[in-house]
Structure 1
Amino acid sequence: MSEGAITLEEGTSKGVYRLQGPDDAVAELSFSKAGTTMIIIDHTDVPDALRGQGAGLRLVERAVADARAVGKKIIPLCPFANAQFGKHPEWGDVLKH
């Protein structure tokens, strides 16, 4: 999936990454903040128009990159995100064990 930049909207306790696709389709990954050193990925939503194009993976990759950049850990409660962590052992440095 080549189009659409990923944006981050962040509040004091929650945040959401969004990936804009064609025809107003938007994929989202939501997370909760657990203190200052951890985030919990709660949910990933990819609409039918974006399925099978790597949108969900791109969102998780962005969350991993952002966590890594600031030294945070991730708890992937979302089944999709959890499955992606299982497929990407190179993300182990940000996975909260």
Structure 2
Amino acid sequence: MSFQVEDNPAKRRFEILVDDALAGFAAYTPGDGVLVFTHTEVDNRFQGQGVGAALVRGALDEVRARGDRIVPRCPFVAAFVKRHPEYADLVVDPA
């Protein structure tokens, strides 16, 4: 099984393809150098296979490469960052 994470700015979401099939997405609201992650969804066929974690990891790696930051309003993204403190520096205070 091969994962590929891509940003789809037209739909305001990162998408994960598993063997070229859309397996899930992480939706965001773009701001000035900040992406507010609002919702993550993985197709039932791909749940429990690490697809959600691969999706968020790929999205956060892309955010880091751009020099942007995040607000993890999505509970899945927030939990991922909590479990992976190497991404904590990407989080900004939404205040």
TM over 0.5: yes
Asked whether the 8 Å contact 1:68–1:94 carries over to 2, the reply is yes
Distance 1:5 1:65 in 2: 13
Equivalenced residues, count: 93
Q: Deviations over 1:40-70 (max 9, x none)?
A: 0111001111101111111111121111112
> Does structure 1 residue 55 correspond to structure 2 residue 54?
no
* 1:1-97 alignment, distance < 5 Å: 2-11=1-10, 15-21=12-18, 24=21, 26-35=23-32, 37-97=33-93
Cα distance in 1, alignment partners of residues 91 and 81 from structure 2: 8
1:26 deviation in Å? 2.1
SS at match of 2:80: helix
- Unpaired runs of at least 5, structure 1: none
Q: Is the 8 A contact 2:70 2:90 kept in 1?
A: yes
* Distance in 2 separating the partners of 1:71 and 1:3: 26
**For the residues of structure 2 that align with 1:40 and 1:28, how far apart are their CA atoms?**
14
> What TM-score comes out, normalization by structure 1 length?
0.83
Please state how far the C-alpha of 1:7 moved relative to its aligned partner.
2.2
Deviation, structure 1 residue 25: 5.2
What do you get for the CA RMSD once the two structures are aligned?
Answer: 1.9
